[in-house]
């Protein structure tokens, strides 16, 4: 940087301006005092000198007056010689009354030039007549004797001596000035340290904070009140900024965590998992390593959740994530995708067997007893495994493949590990294509209802029918509800489908009633999702109004698990349905986890015992006893009972002894289209009238 620039910068700093101001003030003050003292000295010197010269001239005038009377110029000059003792007198001229030089004295060291004397005389005369005379160092005095003026004395003082003295004083003044400037410079530095230093340190801190963004830095608080306030204010501002910064960082951190981590288990979520997997795949591609993706889904987690509540469900998920984490290596990533779905990718896998071993280890870890909320429980899980590069080369495809393998593991009875194969892929893609077809099916009218009779064992009468939906697929033929109902639930299409089933069943019933075919009651299955989300009460009301069907002819079947999901909400909805007059039964009873206390509080009419309880009841005493216990319980709760899945005579015989029991099963009739049921009912009235006295055999068989 050039000097001029430095000076410019310096003069634009507070310190520079302060120093310049102090030095300028000092210099001006000193210059004024020096000038005034010079002027004063000059004035007092001229005044003193004139007084002294005047007195000297008077003395000499008195001395030379007598000699002048006699015109004794020699005597005059002699007496003038005494002036040699005073070196300050330059010259003295005595003029007679004619104005002629009578005698003169010129200091010896001066050149004696008569012309000079004349010249000077002329100057003196001129000055005497002007005001300058007052300040000149020349004096004129008249020579008076006996009252008569004999002549004039002119006397001049040598001012050079005085000028020398003045110069010395000036020199001293300048030296003092220089010292003062140095002093003021030093003083300004000191002042700078007192005032400017805290300001400078404040500026430095400010600059440091700006460049480092470190808001924990603090300014030094000075002793000077104003500066202390400034520094304290600045520090408070920093505290404020730093607090806001911390809050902002915390929020950012929280947002980052929310975006990338699962809040319940603290595990990476799907986004972060996909990200890490994509990175690992890029690495594996370079190093030609095999990578395995494990898709884990807990078995029957929903049932546990329903039976023990969400709190226990959450505790279970946390414990599961801990167990899985414990057995996961540091460079493998475990994530929770949502619900009860977990996924892990393993790096540097040597073979498929290697991945299967890890999966077995993880499954074993999960099979150990869980102690949650003082309750012991057991959990299993279904594992799907996909390998890179064999089963996909992107995070998305690998995850899909592992998911498809897991789906197969579930279908194989859960608690199972399945390795992805390409055949399996076709199954999965078929499932996907079926899901796609499902959307069009409703619009294209591909759904139909079949009706399965329910028989009253006491009198052998048909007490009602269950409406069971069928999908008449244009290419695949009849698709089982066991295949498409879960798909419809996954996609949410179950809402529309359920609505259609209810309307169609009510319409059909009303149609039969109008034709005089008396089917006492139709029971319609309500999916858990439909029961929870759809306003089922309003739907039932509007359907009954639009079809004109009597409410007494309608029964709704709701599975145990759908009711247990939110028991209070379920009770509320069921109450409203019962107030309408709708008959309600718990479907697939015995497969869920409903407790006796829950059952007691539920406003339902019937228990539909799942077919698994009757399947072996005729060959196993144990099963028969369980069935007996269910009957006793239903009786004590004042609930009607329907047993599903009666397939053979032995099962029928086992139940025919029971009072107030209804049955449903292939033994009596398979689900059939409405038209077939009409034919059967017609044939029955034609052929079996009066009514078959044996209540054990349903007449339509």
Residues within the interface to Mg ion (CB under 5 A): 525, 557, 587-588
**β-bridge pairing 661-664 and 583-589:** unpaired
- Helix (H/G/I), strand (E/B), else coil: 283: helix
Least distance from ligand C2E to the Cβ atom of residue 583, Å: 15
User: Is residue 238 within 8 Å of 215, Cβ to Cβ?
Assistant: yes
Residue 385 interaction partner, one of Mg ion, ligand C2E, none, beta carbon < 5-8 Å per kind: none
Q: Cβ(344)–Cβ(331) under 8 Å?
A: no
Binding partner at 468 among ligand C2E, Mg ion, none, C-beta below 5 to 8 Å by kind: ligand C2E
* Smallest separation, CB 589 to Mg ion (Å): 8
Nearer to ligand C2E, 499 or 628 (CB): 499
Is 617 near ligand C2E (CB under 6 A)? no
Give yes or no for a contact between 299 and 415, defined as CB atoms under 8 angstroms apart: yes
**Long-range Cβ contacts of 41-48 (<8 Å, 24+ apart):** 41/165, 41/166, 41/169, 42/162, 42/166, 45/162, 45/165, 45/166, 46/135, 46/137
Stretch that binds ligand C2E, among 9-17, 45-53, 364-372, 662-670 (CB under 6 A): 662-670
Which of 219, 222, 223, 224 lies closest to 239, judged by CA? 219
One of 501, 506, 522, 540 touching ligand C2E (CB under 6 A): 501
Which two tokens mark 340?
């009860």
Contact characters 455-494, ligand C2E, x per CB under 6 A: -------------xx----------xxx--x---------
When the beta carbons of 611 and 618 are compared against Mg ion, the nearer one is: 611
Among 192, 268, 671, 699, binds ligand C2E (CB under 6 A): 671
Query: By rule CB under 6 A, what count of residues binds ligand C2E?
Result: 23
Question: Least Å distance between CB 559 and ligand C2E?
Answer: 7
- Of 343, 527, 547, 561, the one binding ligand C2E (CB under 6 A) is 527
Please choose, out of 49-57, 233-241, 418-426, 660-668, the segment that lies near ligand C2E by the rule CB under 6 A: 660-668
Count the helix, strand and coil residues of the chain and give each as a percent rounded to the nearest 5: 60, 20, 25
- Count CB atoms within 10 A of the CB of residue 480: 9
Residues 184 and 18: their CA atoms lie apart, in Å, by 11
65 contacts which partner out of ligand C2E, Mg ion, none, CB within 5 to 8 A by kind?
A: none
Binding flag, residue 587, ligand C2E (CB under 6 A): yes
Which range of residues in 53-61, 200-208, 241-249, 665-673 is near ligand C2E by CB under 6 A? 665-673
Residue entry with tokens 């052929």: 687
Length of the chain: 701
> Quick check: 563 binds ligand C2E (CB under 6 A)?
no
Shortest Cβ 297–Mg ion spacing (Å):
24
Residues 6+ apart with CB under 8 A from 446: 440, 471, 472, 473, 474
Structure tokens at 349: 């896998």
| Residues 320/342, Cβ–Cβ less than 8 Å | yes
| 366 binds ligand C2E per the rule CB under 6 A | no
Mapping DSSP to helix (H, G, I), strand (E, B) and coil, where does residue 8 land? helix
Q: Is 126 helix (H, G, I), strand (E, B) or coil?
A: helix
Q: Is 695 helix (H, G, I), strand (E, B) or coil?
A: coil
Tokens of 154: 């002119």
Residue with Cβ nearer ligand C2E (588 or 678): 588
**Could you say which of Mg ion, ligand C2E, none residue 671 binds, taking C-beta under 5 to 8 angstroms by partner kind?**
ligand C2E
Q: How far is the CB of 664 from ligand C2E (least distance, A)?
A: 6
Other C-beta atoms lying within 10 Å of the C-beta of residue 91: 21
User: By CB under 6 A, is residue 508 in contact with ligand C2E?
Assistant: no
648 three-class SS: coil
User: Does 184 help bind ligand C2E (rule: CB under 6 A)?
Assistant: no
By DSSP bridging, strand 462-473 and strand 447-456 are antiparallel
Contact range with ligand C2E by CB under 6 A, out of 67-75, 157-165, 268-276, 645-653: 645-653
Min CB(587)–Mg ion separation in Å: 4
User: Residue 581 Cβ, how far from ligand C2E at the closest point, in Å?
Assistant: 21
Residue 561 has which token pair? 């698990």
**Minimum distance from residue 586 beta carbon to Mg ion (Å):** 10
Binding site for ligand C2E (CB under 6 A): 452, 468-469, 480-482, 485, 498, 501, 525, 527, 557, 587-588, 611, 644-647, 664-666, 671
């Amino acid at each position: 940087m050039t000097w001029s620039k430095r000076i410019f910068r310096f003069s634009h700093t507070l310190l520079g301006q302060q120093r310049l101001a102090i030095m300028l003030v000092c210099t001006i003050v000193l210059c004024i005092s020096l000038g005034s003292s010079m002027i004063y000295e000059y004035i007092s010197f001229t005044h003193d000198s004139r007084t002294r010269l005047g007195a000297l001239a008077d003395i000499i005038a008195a001395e030379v007056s007598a000699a002048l009377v006699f015109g004794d110029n020699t005597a005059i000059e002699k007496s003038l010689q005494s002036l040699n003792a005073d070196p300050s007198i330059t010259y003295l001229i005595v003029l007679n009354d004619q104005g002629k030089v009578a005698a003169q004295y010129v200091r010896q060291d001066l050149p004696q030039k008569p012309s000079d004397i004349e010249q000077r005389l002329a100057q003196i005369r001129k000055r005497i007549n002007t005001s300058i005379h007052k300040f000149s160092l020349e004096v004129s005095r008249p020579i008076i004797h006996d009252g008569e003026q004999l002549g004039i004395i002119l006397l001049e003082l040598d001012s050079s001596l005085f000028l020398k003295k003045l110069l010395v004083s000036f020199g001293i003044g300048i030296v003092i000035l220089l010292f003062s400037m140095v002093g003021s410079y030093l003083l300004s530095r000191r002042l700078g340290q007192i005032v400017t230093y805290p300001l400078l340190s404040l500026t430095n801190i400010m600059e440091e904070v700006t460049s480092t963004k470190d808001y924990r830095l603090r300014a030094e608080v000075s002793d000077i009140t104003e500066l202390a306030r400034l520094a304290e204010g600045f520090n408070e501002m920093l505290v404020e900024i730093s607090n806001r910064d911390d809050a902002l960082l915390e929020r950012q951190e929280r947002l980052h965590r929310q975006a990338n981590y699962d809040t319940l288990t603290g595990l990476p979520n799907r986004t972060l998992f996909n990200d890490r997997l994509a990175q690992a795949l890029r690495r594996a591609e370079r190093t030609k390593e095999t990578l395995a993706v494990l898709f884990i889904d807990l078995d029957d987690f929903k049932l546990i959740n329903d039976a023990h509540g969400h709190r226990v469900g959450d505790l279970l998920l946390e414990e599961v994530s801990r167990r899985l984490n414990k057995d996961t290596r540091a460079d493998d990533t475990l994530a929770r995708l949502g619900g009860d779905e977990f996924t892990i990718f393993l790096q540097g896998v040597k073979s498929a067997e290697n991945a299967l071993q890890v999966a077995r280890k993880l499954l074993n870890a999960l099979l150990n007893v869980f102690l949650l909320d003082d309750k012991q429980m057991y959990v299993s899980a279904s594992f799907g495994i996909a390998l890179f590069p064999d089963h996909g080369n992107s995070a998305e495809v690998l995850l899909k493949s592992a998911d498809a393998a897991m789906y197969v593991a579930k279908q194989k009875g859960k608690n199972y590990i399945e390795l992805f194969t390409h055949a399996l892929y076709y199954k999965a893609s078929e499932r996907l294509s079926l899901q796609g077809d499902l959307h069009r099916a409703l619009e294209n009218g591909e759904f139909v209802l079949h009706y399965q009779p329910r028989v009253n064992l006491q009198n052998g009468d048909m007490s009602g029918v269950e409406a069971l939906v069928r999908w008449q697929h244009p290419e695949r033929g009849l698709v089982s509800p066991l295949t498409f109902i879960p798909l419809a639930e996954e996609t949410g299409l179950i809402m529309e489908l359920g609505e259609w089933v209810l309307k169609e069943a009510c319409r059909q019933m009303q149609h039969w009633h109008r034709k005089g075919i008396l089917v006492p009651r139709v029971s319609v299955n309500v999916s858990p999702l439909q029961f929870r989300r759809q306003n089922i009460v309003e739907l039932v009301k509007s359907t009954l109004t639009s079809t004109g069907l009597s409410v007494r002819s309608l029964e709704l079947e709701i599975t145990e698990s759908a009711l247990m999901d939110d028991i209070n909400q379920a009770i509320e909805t069921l109450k409203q349905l019962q107030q309408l007059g709708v008959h309600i039964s718990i479907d697939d009873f015995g497969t869920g986890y409903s407790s006796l206390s829950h059952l007691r509080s539920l406003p339902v009419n019937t228990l539909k015992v799942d077919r698994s309880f009757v399947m072996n009841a005729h060959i196993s005493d144990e099963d028969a006893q369980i069935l007996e216990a269910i009957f006793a319980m239903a009786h004590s709760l004042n609930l009607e009972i329907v047993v599903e899945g009666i397939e053979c005579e032995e099962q029928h015989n086992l139940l025919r002894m029971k009072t107030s029991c209804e049955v449903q099963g292939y033994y009596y009739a398979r689900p059939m289209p409405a038209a077939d049921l009409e034919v059967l009912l017609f044939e029955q009235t034609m052929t079996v009238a009066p009514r078959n006295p044996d209540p054990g055999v349903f007449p339509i068989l």
